[in-house]
Structure 1
Amino acid sequence: MKYREITGSLIERNGKYTAVLNLYDVSGKRRQKSIALGIPVKGNTRRALAQLEELKREYAGAAGLLRNGKRESPLFADFLKDWLKITAPTIERSTYQGYESMIGARLEPFFRERKLRLYDVEPKHIRELHQSIFDDGCNANTVIHYHAVVRKALQYAVKNELITENVADKVDRPKKGKYLAAFYSKEELAALFEATRNDSMSVVIQLAAYYGLRRSEVLGIRWSAIDFDRGTISINHKVTDGKENGEYRIFTEDKLKTKSSFRTLPLIPAVRELLREQREKQERYQALFKKSYCQEYLDYVCVDEMGKLFRPNYVTDHFKLLLQQNGLRPIRFHDLRHSCASLLLSQGIAMKQIQDWLGHSTFATTADIYSHLDFNSKQESADAIAAAFMPEEMAEEEQTQDFGMTMSM
């Protein structure tokens, strides 16, 4: 049968344009989809119409519409790219970049080589994808991530009645591997601080270690979020990087990973002194470089000598280089976060308190990552089981000794 072309129109909602698309399933039944364009109505009609036409093309591509108005299932490799464009407004930028990388690096080549159309994809192809990832030396967690992207794309196709079932649901995912976080001891952290104290990134490293901050969080610390009088530091901003319209750029925003990531923590004395030194450095560099000093990031703590924000990827690469140059055990920059948690546990801090310190959204996340390091709770269990098997005579003797010690105190 003939399939109807996707049509659409513009409507006004709260002073901004919304696109309304008319989508048709295989039986010809119409289903409308509204997409807020975020474009002000006044003076932007031509721009909104152009965006409407682009949406119609994208949805037509995902649905496999041909120029003669008949529908043919698209190549799955093409469908993945079209699905990603349509999904982009509904997901985080970092999530989009991750999906884009996975599709470009592996999924598109895998399915394009096999010339599979959307309705041709079967469970066996998903299993072959899994095996190809394992064959490249990747672990089960990597397979799970790729499986999730394929499943999401297929679920979109099911929801829009392009296919009748999600074949990815018929394929078992491999069991997720247990991640054991690497971490530095307090002696190793002290050596790291000493080795890097004259490096421009010293403040980044120490703040990440003291507070267990994510890379984006530590780069997002601003002077306006530090209250020296009250002795607090607020984690409420982040710095990330990525491509936008084909160009690399840095993004600064008041949007963290989860609601729990927003937190206000006490200003540790050593950090207070670190920040005082950092502010003095910045004032000195501003006076030295004058007009050449970057004025865009004056409120940010973690900047280089010219006042420019450290790029997230630079932090990762330079940290690795610093460890090599100073003969320190290799760990990732993110492992400074794990090192902080390990030290807190070794000092007897409860897991719930560590969850709040690190800004995890759930207690389960904290426990899943760090339970194997919680020696204190295990020692209590060991003492309890030892006491349970202790002969009665020895137990009575210990109780007598404990009583005597209590009386003498």
Structure 2
Amino acid sequence: MRTGEACALTWDNIDFKKRIISIEHDVYSKVKDEKGRWYISTPKTKKGIRTVYICDTLLIALKNYKNKQEELKKMYGKDYHYYHVENVTNIFNKVVEQRIVEVSKKKKESIINLIFTKEDGPFIGTDIIRYPYKVIHKELGIKNCRFYDLRGSFATVSLRNGAKIREIADILGHSNVETTENYYISSSNETLKSTIKNFENNVQSDIINNIIKYK
């Protein structure tokens, strides 16, 4: 999942019974004004709109996180921050963008149940991911590490464990497998050795038969 896609998720995108996440939106930032700086849009390509299945570990984590968020909403009460989507129109009154705006206490806008917010509800978009990676950089000494890089790690490990390239591309939201192959999958010495070993095992019997034939 892309950073913006993860931050755009609402609880309506999570189906705990079917164990799927529906990825339908992306968030991006612009110059900050009195209404904030975060905007929401659909993914770049049709393949970007997709579903991702929830594994056991993530299912437990999401349920625990949702329960915790509900407790915080009760604790903060009227001081909790809520948001809605506001249309941005041009001079012809055509919607050209949509932005994420805090709900006014004087109005009753349609609230979106954002998943990733600060403790008392403020939505800070992709900034919410920066702090954990500062910790990774400082405490673990891992440089040039980004949340986005986890997509490449997922692709490489999945392929190594037998997943098909088309399946990986679909999960990542790529329109074509070339993008997945060229930019998201890396080889290691172990995988290269494994490739040669698999080739050897597959053709070994034919080679032996040919050697026997020409003795």
| Fold similarity call, TM over 0.5 | yes
Relative to its length, the structure with more strand (as a share) is 2
More helix by share: 1
Residue 328 to residue 342, structure 1, CA distance change in 2 (3 Å) = farther
**TM-score (normalised: structure 2):** 0.72
Deviation at 1:298, TM superposition (A): 5.0
Unaligned runs of at least 5 residues, structure 2: 84-110, 210-215
Task: Check 1:390–1:244 CA distance in 2 against 1; reply closer, same or farther (3 A cut).
Answer: same
Aligned to 1:250, what secondary structure does the other structure show? strand
- 1:391, distance to aligned residue in structure 2 (A): 9.9
In structure 2, the partner of 1:326 is 139
* Alignment pair present for 1:347 and 2:134: no
Report how many residues are paired: 183
Q: Retained in 2: the 8 A contact 1:298–1:307?
A: no
Structure with max Cα Rg: 1
Counterparts of 2:32 and 2:75, CA distance in 1:
34
1:250 paired to 2:65: no
Q: Secondary structure at the match of 1:309?
A: coil
| Alignment correspondent of 1:265 | 52
Residue 226 (1) aligns with residue 14 (2): yes
Task: For residue 248 of structure 1, report the CA deviation from its aligned partner.
Answer: 5.5
Once the two structures are superposed, what CA deviation does each residue of 1:212-248 show, in whole Å capped at 9, x if it has no partner?
A: x111000011111111122211011122111278986
What is the CA-CA distance between 1:345 and the residue it aligns to? 1.9
Question: Of the candidates 47, 55, 62, which is equivalent to residue 275 of structure 1?
Answer: 62
Q: Relative contact order: is structure 1 or structure 2 higher (C-alpha 8 Å, sep ≥ 6)?
A: 2
Alpha-carbon contact 2:156-2:186 (below 8 Å) kept = no
Contact 2:133 2:146 in 1 (8 A): yes
Partner Cα distance (2:156, 2:22) in 1? 22
Assess if the C-alpha contact under 8 Å between 1:316 and 1:333 holds in 2: yes
* Contact 1:242 1:250 survives alignment (8 Å): yes
Q: Measured at CA, do residues 351 and 373 of structure 1 come closer, stay the same or move farther in structure 2, by a change above 3 Å? A: farther
Q: CA separation in 1, counterparts of 2:17 and 2:130?
A: 36
Q: Report matched runs for 1:295-334 at 5 Å.
A: 295-296=82-83, 299-312=113-126, 314-315=127-128, 317-330=130-143, 331-334=145-148
Match of 2:194 among 379, 382, 392: 379
Which amino acid letter does the alignment assign opposite residue 322 of structure 1? V
Q: Structure 1 segments of 4 or more deviating over 4 A?
A: 244-248, 374-378, 385-392
Distance 1:289 1:245, change over 3 A: closer
2:151 equivalent to 1:337: yes
Contact 2:81 2:120 in 1 (8 A): yes
Quick check: 1:215 aligned with 2:13? no
Cα distance change on mapping 1:260 and 1:378 into 2, 3 Å? farther
Q: How many percent of aligned residue pairs carry the same amino acid?
A: 24
- Are the aligned partners of 1:345 and 1:373 in contact in 2 as well (CA < 8 Å)? no
Is the contact between residue 156 and residue 185 of structure 2 (CA under 8 Å) also seen in structure 1? no
- TM-superposed deviation, 1:263: 0.4
Aligned residues of 2:10 and 2:113 also touching (Cα < 8 A): yes
Question: 2:29 matched to which residue of 1?
Answer: 241
Shift of 1:317: 3.2
In structure 2, do the counterparts of structure 1 residues 264 and 383 end up closer, same or farther at CA, with 3 Å as the change threshold?
A: closer
The 3 A distance-change label for structure 1 pair 355 and 377 is farther
Please report the TM-score for the alignment, with normalisation by the length of structure 1. Answer: 0.40
8 Å CA contact 1:355–1:366 kept in 2: the answer is yes
Aligned residue number for residue 172 of structure 2: 358
